[in-house]
Amino acid sequence: MERPAWAPRSVDISVPSVSRMYDYYLGGSHNFEVDREAARRAMEFMPGLPKIVQANRAFMRRAVRFAAGEGITQFLDIGSGIPTFGNVHEVARAANPDARVLYVDHDPVAVAHSRAVLAGHDGADVLAADLRKPQDILTSPEARRLIDRNRPVALLLVAILHFVEDADDPYAAVAELREALAPGSMLVLTHASYEGIPLPPERAEGAVDVYQDIRNPLIMRTREEIARFFEGYDMVEPGLVPMPQWRPDTAPEDEDPYAFSGFAGVGRTA
């Protein structure tokens, strides 16, 4: 297997990666055959996966514009993945040229790419760290340089929490981050769920099994379980809803049915 020049030496290119599969669904070029193969297997069960991923990105951009419009200038994007067009720093900077963005991911390919994309950007950086260890993120030199914890921060957890198993207590990690950030901070979140998928659950389970097989379990939570991540936050209208219904730019009824899979929401601390 040829190792592309952009792939860090330390990366095992024989093992599929969730962030590279996501890049493939988005039509990106930073993925390997092993990722494409796993993604295509998942799409055999759930052909609308690229539509779900596109809806995630579109929601993320609307939420970042909303946060910037509310005066937030600091963005902490955990599980940021491989940077593609219209990433957080581009959207935030378009709204406010002084916006600062810290991307966090534990996939070495995502981190290596983010470094390349962000070269020369003094208001944006990337950190190799894991959502399950909030203190590693909060106390990092990158966070100290970019994030003033005395001022509100938009915390982005987009399509990441469904890769954290209950045994790793994602609720505690989210609560720890909430406690560490200034009042008026926002939580921007999307999460996979069987609710809204235009397929029988047993068919959707086939796609979930593919993620189980590559040792990146996809944890489908109910709307109630997802809502618990917003404890301590006041929900921004329209609340926790399917992605196309959150402050849409275009008519939700024009969206692909798959775009309504799972939930999205934004909360703000008092």
d(CA 217, CA 168) in angstroms, rounded, equals 12
Stretches where the chain sits below pLDDT 50 are none
Predicted pLDDT at 188? 98
Q: How many whole angstroms separate alpha carbon 1 and alpha carbon 214?
A: 19
Instruction: Give the pLDDT score at 186.
Output: 98
* Other beta carbons within 10 Å of 65: 16
* Residue 19: φ, ψ to 5°: -70, -30
Give pLDDT, residue 1.
Answer: 65
- Which tokens in the block code for residue 132? 């399950």
- Thinking of the domain 49-198+221-268, which architecture would CATH place it in? 3-Layer(aba) Sandwich (3.40)
DSSP string, 186-241: EEEEEE--STT-SS-HHHHHHHHHHHHHTT-------HHHHHGGGTTSEEPTT-SB
The candidate with the shortest Cα–Cα distance to 57, out of 32, 29, 82, is 82
Alpha-carbon span 128 to 106, nearest angstrom = 5
Element (H, E) at 19: helix 18-25
Is residue 155 within 8 Å of residue 269, measured between CB atoms? no
| CA-based nearest residue to 156, from 22, 242, 18, 57 | 57
Are residues 80 and 103 in contact, defined by beta-carbon separation less than 8 angstroms?
A: yes
Per-residue pLDDT at 233: 98
pLDDT score of 160? 97
The structural domains of the chain, with segments of one domain joined by +, span 49-198+221-268
Please spell the DSSP secondary structure of 61-123, one letter per residue.
HHHHHHHHHTT--EEEEET--S--SS-HHHHHHHH-TT-EEEEEES-HHHHHHHHHHHTT-TT
